[in-house]
Structure 1
Amino acid sequence: MKSTVKFCGLVMLTSIGIASCYAASFTYKGGPRIKSDDGNFEIGLNGRTHLDVHSLYPDYPVFGSQLLSSNDRDGFNWRRTYATLTGKIHDLNFKFENDFAVNAISPFPHSLREAWVSAKLGPGQLTLGQFKPYRGLEEITSSNEITLMERPSTSSTGIYSGRQFLTGIGYRSMIRDNLGFGINVMSLSHFGLPFEGITYGGRAVWLPIHQEGNILHLGFSVSRDTSNKNSLSARIVDVYGGREGISQSLGLAGAGFGAPHSNSQSTFSAEAAYSIGSLTLQGEYALSKLDNTHQAGGNLKNSSIQAFYVQASWFLTGENAVYRKDRGAFGKPLPSGKWGALEFAGRYDLAENINQNLTADPCRTGTSKCQVQVITLGVNWYPYQGIRFMLNYYLTEAMIGHADLGAQTQKDKLSVLSVRTQISF
């Protein structure tokens, strides 16, 4: 915590010192900002805080490592408390973002989320540092603007488990007004970890229709993550029942006995979204192959995991979703009425290891199936710009099949009620 404050203070003092050499103006629109009159220097401070409250209702009898009682994970959770510095010095842009909510368990620099510098190169932007790899639609969307409280299984909540912010180099550009791409080569690590393991891949987006209040978005992404013992794991863990819910492993690359030192995960993902008026529909499908997850017949075997979701949201108060070309993702509009904006949303989400059976056991459950389904219903109220209240209700089912032929199918049904208070500037 102390080192984080010292670091941010050093950045601020350095920036103020530079600003003092120029005629500058100070504004407070979306956060305090200093900008030189010649436009060569700019720095701004932003922040966000997400306070969540959860109430979990387990189904009995349970299996595995599920809830011990109806209230063992109930209560409050500071999900995010971000402080963000952004700005530029001549043609060099930068961003430093720290999450103080996790600082106690992941001290600085592990608590850094984004920390990068970028510069214009040709028609696009070259970025160096820690940031999100260019992956799917919901993964690249800001946590301030995701429609439901949790991301689906096609994101770092599932397919890219634990690999949301990585260190490396990336380049993204709009080839045409409606066509863009991003490519990256990164270490499978955060700041504060050894720079080992590697991921490379990219994402492309196309807007066949791009008009105000009428947007059709199509895209796909590919990636290959190769981990070793000192890097983040190439694994898939789906969390059902919200942030305080249950983790179900769907496979770990290299978990098979006798597997080599380095093992890979290869993923292809397709995405589509259509926003017309106050209605937005979107969905993604991801297929991921994990190397050497288990043994069958004395031989190492790979396994495949599929994940997909379909989602719909509608603004009762008539606002339109905002499309952000710089990310290739949707954002939220400003409230248009004096009572704010009211949004209803729903999502169906499924993830499963399609190779799990009584002979092959990549999920390590010793059963015939390995599947998680989640239905999420949500209401969002935006009373003012920068403030949002979210109410989510999860209906979940984890199915691991049976342990032998003729045995009863094992399921875990969990329902959860979650509320978030979100403030950002």
Structure 2
Amino acid sequence: MPVKEEKNGEEITNPYQIAQQLIRRAAESLDLPEGVYNILKKPKRVMKVSIPVRRDNGEYANFTGMRSQHIDILGPTKGGIRFHPGVNEDEVVALSMWMSLKSALVGLPFGGGKGGVIVNPEELSERELEELSRGYIRELEPIIGPDKDVPAPDVNTNGQIMGWMLDEFDRLRGKDVSGFITGKPVIIGGSEGRIEATGRGVVINIMEAAKRLNLELDKLSAVVQGFGNVGSITAKLLHEQGVKVIAVTDAGGGAYQSNGLDIVSLIDYVNAHGTVNGFEGSEHISNEQLFAADCDILVPAALENQITEDTAPTIKAKIVAEAANGPTTPQGNKIMEQKDIFVIPDILCNSGGVTVSYFEWVQNAMHYFWKEDEVNEKLKEKMENAFDSVYRMKMEKNASMRESAYLVGVGRLAEAMKARGWIKNWDMPIEC
């Protein structure tokens, strides 16, 4: 059954449908039994909860939270928690599916999970935010834990929120369960290098792509959409590698300098002003202008559906490194393929975060912790191996990097299904 990329002539932007399409295409390309796709196309479990929070004025507000657990065939599900007004069930489910593929691709003993709360955290006081965080864990406690489902930070959540969640889970269990959550402060069992892990992984992938394309990093320029944790660290590490970062944008605006931005000063400016907009010596730039900028590397590090049939035709970059989850629509991807742009897909490009989360989980189980240099070296090895697996699949199948990443991820999940006996009467070998 061929995969359709458009419905009634309209571009599909629903992340759940996009994830299903990509998984089906990979299963078809590998000649896998229909049962593999039927298992992977839906999450094992989605739980929606109601979280009452007493506001500072004494009134109560009620927030909706959710958690999707896609598949646990390789190990406990794993994935972040986002606090955002745009959180919805299809988004959370799609993100959990991508986490399954990401873990399989990198070789981690995790399945995919994802959670979120429909809320604008900027509208809550610190006390209200803590109460919401603890309430989320109380409601989900029956289905989460270090051997069931391991949360982590995501959009608008951070180490402090993970600390509150850990404390609440420990109170409910009556003991220390530090491996229940990752991305927490180092003092309570977090891992060195975790804050920079996703951005560092993005840069390692860009370095590997540049090698395959015979490009010298110190002669390249880059633009970054999104200047939160991932975008800012990616920009900083690219800058340290000699790449000229000429433009960045965030929710508040944009900053452009043709001769390259001083990223360290820009990070200080954002910490003081909350946005890159108005950075001294820079010109304003919109997202549309950023995508169309004359540069070598484009890093979308914001939310889903940014590279579309409207923005893709304007891209001049040689490399697109998807630091965000699901930043490209199927039509946008098709256009980039036609333009022969080297795309590092999200499930490969931003897998540094879950990789160091895995390291944190392992360290919690051992009660023994590694130094940051050791964490970074282990991350580099994992990222390079994953990139190499995808690139070898690309060359073997004459496929795009995105298709190749899905072929590797889906193939490994299918191999696990065969090993566990989930699919019967299956004699065919699986190569992944």
TM-score (norm 2): 0.31
Higher helix share: 2
Q: Which has the higher strand share?
A: 1
Considering only CA atoms, is the larger Rg found in Structure 1 or Structure 2?
1
Where relative contact order (Cα < 8 A, 6+ residues apart) is larger, the structure is 2
TM-score by length of 1: 0.32
